[in-house]
Amino acid sequence: MRRAYSVETVRAAEAALMQRLPEGALMQRAAAGLAVACGDLLRRGGRVYGARVLLLVGSGDNGGDALYAGARLARRGAGVRALLLAPDRAHPGGLAAFLAAGGQVVDGPDGLGVLDLIVDGITGIGGRGGLRADATELLDAVTRDRTPVIAVDLPSGVEADTGEVHGDAVRADATVTFGTYKPGLLIDPAAEHAGALRLVDIGLGPDLPEPPDLEALQYADVAALLPVPGGESDKYRRGVVGVVAGSERYPGAAVLAVAGALRGGAGAVRYVGPGADAVIGRYPEALVHAGPPSKAGRVQAWVVGPGLGDGREAEAAVADVLAADVPVLVDADGLRLLDAETVRTRTAPTVLTPHAGEAAALLSTAREDVEAGRLAAVRELAARYRATVLLKGSTTLVAEARDTPVRVNPTGTAWLATAGSGDVLSGLTGSLLAAGLAPRDAASVGAYLHGLAARHGSDGAPLSAQDVADGIPAAWRDVRAG
């Protein structure tokens, strides 16, 4: 599992560790890992010896890391030059080591020639706001030829704690981070600036508290949570999920939500709504009922909302489902039709799965604000509605009302931006709720499998929501195989 901590927590852990280490040892560990990563990247493009490297050096410890790493590269035969953005405040020990190793300090971007690598050490994890105008101008000048950029700990100009980007920021091809991940490396829009991530262990582990601020499940974590039937399982023990979805205008939403539930491992799916003929025509194993949902038969979880439309019948269906004493997932039109106080006072778990626009409506704010501050938005939604919230998007986030780490899904892909994909995710997550997974686990595993399924379904080509549903079994096999 990838774990991320706030700047305050990282600094406290570093301070505790430095008390037990010789002076400068922590920076040397970071610089050594950075130099190895730079060397690996340079070798992919040709060689380290004779490579042309430019360090962009700010006044903080990240600048010191870059200078010490540059010294190591210079001793391996690379031609390393440093551009100091604040010459009178450059790290003195790092600068001395860099010059002693044969590194050169340059005054500006003119005359640098062709570069093989740029190292971004402008600002550190404590930076706030975007890059200053002079840093932006310099960055534009040296990256004009699309030279690969490797960021030190965090791309300069992004917010470490939130993933927000206020102004100009470095777009790195790779980021080498130290000790632990920072939330901004895993959450968009900042994550889009980070490129490939590499974590260097500098010994912070024993000094990092539980729980982290953010976590991202990996294959082994998801495999441990997957509900796998045993020898005594039957369709009811595996979980029966009810799906209230679709309308005369959107019958396909019903089909796709049922597809996600069936592919997600539900023992049975009870469908309620006007799309019964379409559902049975595609999935004859589905159990259909005219409604209301409370009369459809026993279920272990409900999914309500995809393609439900407007009107009194739709509103009544949402209210009926929310009155049930089982976990309920509310998506799409259901999010517009729900009564907030009913959700807050439910004794059974509730999972809300909005995209940014729906989240903005639930929070009475602008969509742009949600997209710019995804972490704050998902936490506020969970607290305000006392629910588990899965905020869909380029990085899907899962938050609970209680104080547990927010989870970020690492398997998302742009191919999921297709009509009906969210309906599949709702059915899939509902099946995991019905199987007995806790709401946070069901939402996290559902998002993880959903992303993998899209990768299987697309194979690099455009795909439909039905392709995503059909890719779920392959994603399941991948996770179990490790």
∠ Cα 35 40 45 (to 5°): 125
- How far is 467 from 461, CA to CA, in rounded Å? 11
Element counts in the chain: helices (H) and strands (E): 19, 18
Residue 409 annotated as lining a ligand binding site: no
Residue 63 annotated as lining a ligand binding site: yes
Tokens read off for 375: 């972490």
∠ Cα 167 33 15 (to 5°): 75
φ and ψ at 68, to 5 degrees?
-65, -40
User: Which residues in 253-274 are b (16+ Cβ under 10 Å) and which e?
Assistant: bbbbbbbbbbbbbbbbbbbbbb
- How far is 388 from 383, CA to CA, in rounded Å? 9
CB 283 within 8 A of CB 254: no
Residue 393 annotated as lining a ligand binding site: yes
State the CB neighbour count (10 A cutoff) for residue 198. Answer: 17
Residue 264 annotated as lining a ligand binding site: no
Residue 130 annotated as lining a ligand binding site: yes
Residue 156 annotated as lining a ligand binding site: yes
Residue 33 annotated as lining a ligand binding site: no
Element (H, E) at 330: strand 328-330
Residue 44 annotated as lining a ligand binding site: no
∠ Cα 40 43 49 (to 5°): 110
Residue 291 annotated as lining a ligand binding site: no
Residue 127 annotated as lining a ligand binding site: yes
Residue 124 annotated as lining a ligand binding site: yes
Residue 61 annotated as lining a ligand binding site: yes
Residue 392 annotated as lining a ligand binding site: yes
Residue 413 annotated as lining a ligand binding site: no
Residue 136 annotated as lining a ligand binding site: no
Write out the DSSP string of 358-411. HHHHHHTS-HHHHHH-HHHHHHHHHHHHTSEEEE-SSS-EEE-SSS--EEE-S-
Residue 147 annotated as lining a ligand binding site: no
Residue 460 annotated as lining a ligand binding site: no
Residue 331 annotated as lining a ligand binding site: no
Give the closest residue to 161 by CA, choosing from 144, 140, 184.
Answer: 184
Residue 128 annotated as lining a ligand binding site: yes
Going through 34-123 in order, the beta strands assigned E by DSSP cover: 52-57, 79-84, 104-106, 117-121
Q: Which residues are annotated as a binding site for (6S)-NADPHX?
A: 61-65, 124-130, 153, 253, 307, 355, 423
Q: Which residues are annotated as a binding site?
A: 61-65, 120, 124-130, 153, 156, 253, 307, 355, 392-396, 422-423
Q: Which residues are annotated as a binding site for K(+)?
A: 62, 120, 156
Q: Which residues are annotated as a binding site for AMP?
A: 392-396, 422
